[in-house]
């Protein structure tokens, strides 16, 4: 006689349902065991998370392009600069993730920092255009 079929661990789900939120260390009410020692993160299958992240980078690049298109109406040079950021963002999303020697992945931290600096710079540029630029009401008609 065989025992009942293995139902699997209750905390395991398909990888495309997103990662479960980790609870406080040592306070798991379900009593789920921590991953066994030697479970290398590099060997874990991220499932479709990599695809979703890649698509997210692509949407961000498209957002930059859309903003550049709007700014083109107000200021040609600034619009072209913002439009040029879009392919850079797209390329940043394609950079292969590699763990640093220690701590956070250096490539991830750097490229996210670049995105932040780019958005702040674009916002400042738009602020200058909004304050000092010549308004063109009805330009989208």
Partner 1 sequence: MSWSSRLAALLPRTAVQDTGGTEPDPRFTFANERTFLAWSRSALALVVAGLGVVQLLPPFPGVPSGRHLIGLPLIVLGAVLAVTAYAEWVRNQRALRRGEPLPRSVMPWILAATVTGIAVISSIVLLVSAAR
Which residues of this protein are in contact with partner 1, per CB under 8 A? 15, 18-19, 21-25, 41-42, 44, 46-47, 49-50, 52-53, 56-57, 59-60, 63-64, 66-67, 70-71, 73-74, 99-100, 102-106, 108-110, 112-113, 115-116, 119-120, 122-124, 126-127, 129-131, 133, 135-140
Q: How far is the CB of 45 from partner 1 (least distance, A)?
A: 8
| 114 within 8 A of 92, measured Cβ to Cβ | yes
CB of 2 or CB of 66, closer to partner 1: 66
Q: How far is the CB of 7 from partner 1 (least distance, A)?
A: 22
Q: Which tokens sit at 73?
A: 């109406």
CB of 47 or CB of 81, closer to partner 1: 47
Long-range contacts of 71-77 (CB under 8 A, 24+ apart): 71/125, 71/126, 71/129, 73/136, 73/139, 73/140, 74/129, 74/133, 74/134, 74/136, 75/129, 75/133
CB of 5 or CB of 40, closer to partner 1: 40
CB of 1 or CB of 101, closer to partner 1: 101
Q: How far is the CB of 102 from partner 1 (least distance, A)?
A: 4
Q: Which tokens sit at 26?
A: 């040592």
CB of 4 or CB of 41, closer to partner 1: 41
For 89, other C-beta atoms within 10 Å of its C-beta total 21
């Amino acid at each position: 006689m065989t025992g009942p079929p293995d139902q699997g661990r209750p905390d395991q789900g398909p990888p495309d349902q997103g990662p479960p939120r980790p609870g406080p260390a040592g306070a798991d009410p379900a009593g789920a065991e921590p991953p066994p020692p030697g479970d290398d993160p590099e060997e874990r299958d991220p499932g479709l998370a990599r695809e979703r992240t890649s698509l997210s980078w692509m949407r961000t690049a498209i957002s930059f392009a859309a903003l550049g298109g709007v700014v083109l109406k107000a200021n040609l040079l600034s619009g072209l600069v913002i439009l040029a950021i879009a392919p850079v963002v797209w390329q940043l999303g394609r950079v292969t993730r590699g763990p640093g020697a220690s701590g956070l992945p250096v490539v991830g931290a750097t490229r996210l920092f670049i995105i932040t600096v780019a958005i702040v710079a674009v916002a400042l540029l738009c602020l200058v255009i909004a304050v000092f630029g010549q308004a063109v009401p009805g330009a989208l008609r």
